[in-house]
Amino acid sequence: MKKTILVVIFLFYTLTILSQRLVYSGQNQINRFLEDPSYLSLNGEYNMTGIIQASDTDISNTSQYILAQLSPFDNVAFGVDYSRHSYQVFRYSQMFFSSRVKFNFGNEFHYLNVGTSIGIDRLNEDRSSRENDINSVFKLGFHYTNFNLTIGGFINNYPLQNNLLNASLAPLTTSQGYTAYLSYKLRISDNFRLTPIARYNAYSDLTFFEGVTSLNYKGNYELALSYKNDYSINAALSGRFLKFIRVSYSFENAIGIQNFNNIHSVGVSVDLSPKENEIPEWLANVKRNSEKINSIRKIKQEPIIAIEEPEIIIEDINTENNEISNAVVDTVQEELIKFPVMTEDAPTDIVNNRLKPGYYIILGSYKQIKNAEQEIKRLRENGSYARYGKKDINDAFNYVYVDRYDDKDIASKRTKAKQKEKGFERVWLLRIK
């Protein structure tokens, strides 16, 4: 008798899993804010996103998402999102009002984001006198980032739908659960960034691990591949066109114990945020690594600060009687004197509408020429000379540089010397091939 009861319970449990599928957009790996409010307008974006999702079935099964995001400040963002899921005669919808707050810990690559969403969900049955079921729902998410490492998680409400192969009249039901994840950004080159992500999902009777790999090119194109054990394989692709428009597509296929039809999803995002202050992904990587190196140097120097000996060393360097220190300083100075700094009389570095090969000490990059010209004007008013140019005719950025050299070693030494000057602490070296 006990064996019979256990078999019945096992079969009931198994059939329950087979008959359920979480309804969420397959584009959540390239549009993280779809499920996690802590990613809401993370980069100071102001945009509108619309997504349509449909399955390969004769049964009516579609989902629509409309989201609006606004970030008046880098550390504060707001959003409104609406989703509607259709299945047979049932219509399930959600509406959320969301907010996000960012806490910085020393620099722009070390921070904590906390996001919350409060709203309502509604279940409507067509051609029925039954009242609509309206309930309050919420989402809560956070992620902590320390340079390339990110740890986070969120609580969410997802609707569950029956097996799409059966024309069942059972309604959609909501399931509350949580997701925890860990990711690490890997810099492959100046233009490519690879981000592996490990996730653990627990919703109702569905508990599964998920592995995600995301490949980003210059911040404009992204490819993500997700594998959920005994659940599905999900691929997503996103690309930016005409500066302000991003188009995305995703495909999800059931595997293992799951049994639902293939899911296709198409999305369009209109980004209305200003682009002149945007920097390319490779430059963000350079800044991130520079911040990390500076923090390591700071830690190493802290024990020495309490000792009086460094003050004596500094005085010795500035004393004419210290022959050893003067010899080192004079050697570096004599070497750099052979390569004078750039002046107005120096020949142009523009050849065929692009910067000629060499090593350039870059102060900043701008998409609009007028912003680059304003920066050069500001530098000249402060007694510094600078120029600007592009890597090639198709490059979207105008690079403001304060010097150029053919020799890498000299360029590196001059860059380090320049970083010690006030107002030039963040200059970096760019190689043009």
Q: How many other CB atoms are there within 10 angstroms of residue 122's CB atom?
A: 14
Residue 267 burial by Cβ neighbours in a 10 Å radius (0-12, 13-18, 19+): buried
The label of the residue with tokens 């065929």 reads: 352
Mean pLDDT confidence for 66-75? 87
- Looking at the chain, the whole-number percentage of residues with pLDDT higher than 70 is 73
Q: What is the pLDDT of residue 130?
A: 53
The residue ranges of DSSP E strands in 126-148, in sequence order, are 133-146
> What are 101-118's pLDDT values in tens digits?
999 887 778 899 999 999
Cβ–Cβ < 8 Å for 228, 212: no
Q: What pLDDT score was predicted for residue 337?
A: 61
Q: Are 264 and 258 in contact (CB under 8 A)?
A: no
More confident residue, 220 or 141: 141
247-260 mean pLDDT: 88
Using 50, 70 and 90 to split pLDDT, how confident is the model at 260? confident
Backbone phi, then psi, for 161, in 5-degree steps? Answer: -125, 155
Write out pLDDT tens, residues 166-213. Answer: 445 566 677 889 999 999 999 888 788 899 999 999 988 788 899 999
- pLDDT value at position 303? 46
Three-state DSSP state, 54: strand
Pick 2-271's CATH classification: 3.40.1390.20, 3.10.180.10, 2.40.160.40, 2.102.10.10.
Answer: 2.40.160.40
Instruction: Look at the block and give the residue holding tokens 């087979």.
Output: 18
Please, what is the Cα angle at 326 between 322 and 331, to 5 degrees? 160
Task: Quote the tokens at residue 433.
Answer: 């091939």
What is the dotted CATH code of the domain comprising 339-433? Answer: 3.30.70.1070
What are 142-171's pLDDT values in tens digits?
A: 999 998 899 999 999 888 765 444 445 566
Write out the two tokens for 153: 């998680």
Question: Any idea where the domains of the chain sit in the sequence?
Answer: 2-271, 339-433
- Residue 216's Cβ-count burial label (10 Å; 0-12, 13-18, 19+) is buried
Task: Name, in order, each residue with C-beta under 8 angstroms of 146's C-beta and a sequence gap of 6 or more.
Answer: 109, 110
Residue 324, pLDDT above cutoff 50: no
Kindly tell me the sign of the dihedral angle through the C-alpha atoms of 195, 193, 116, 266.
negative
Supply the pLDDT for residue 175.
Answer: 83
**Residue 19 pLDDT:** 43
20 or 329, higher pLDDT: 20
The one-letter amino acid code at 128 reads S
Question: What are phi and psi for residue 171, nearest 5 degrees?
Answer: -75, 170
What is the pLDDT averaged over residues 13-18? 39
What's the confidence (pLDDT) of residue 288? Answer: 59
pLDDT of the residue at 302: 46
C-alpha closest to that of 215 among 225, 204, 200: 225
Q: 93-104: string of b/e by CB count within 10 Å (b at 16+)?
A: bbbbebbbebee
Confidence band, pLDDT 50/70/90 cuts, at residue 227: very high
Q: Does pLDDT of 80 surpass 50?
A: yes
Q: What is the pLDDT of residues 363-390, one digit of tens each?
A: 988 888 888 998 998 888 888 889 999 9
Per-residue confidence (pLDDT) for residue 98, from 0 to 100: 96
CA-CA distance, 260 to 252, in Å (whole number)?
Answer: 10
- The chain-wide mean pLDDT, for the chain, equals 78
CA distance linking residue 306 with residue 368, whole number of Å: 47
Q: Residue 164 burial by CB count (10 A; 0-12/13-18/19+): exposed, middle or buried? A: buried
Answer yes or no: is pLDDT of 300 > 90. Answer: no
Burial class (CB in 10 A: 0-12, 13-18, 19+), 83: buried
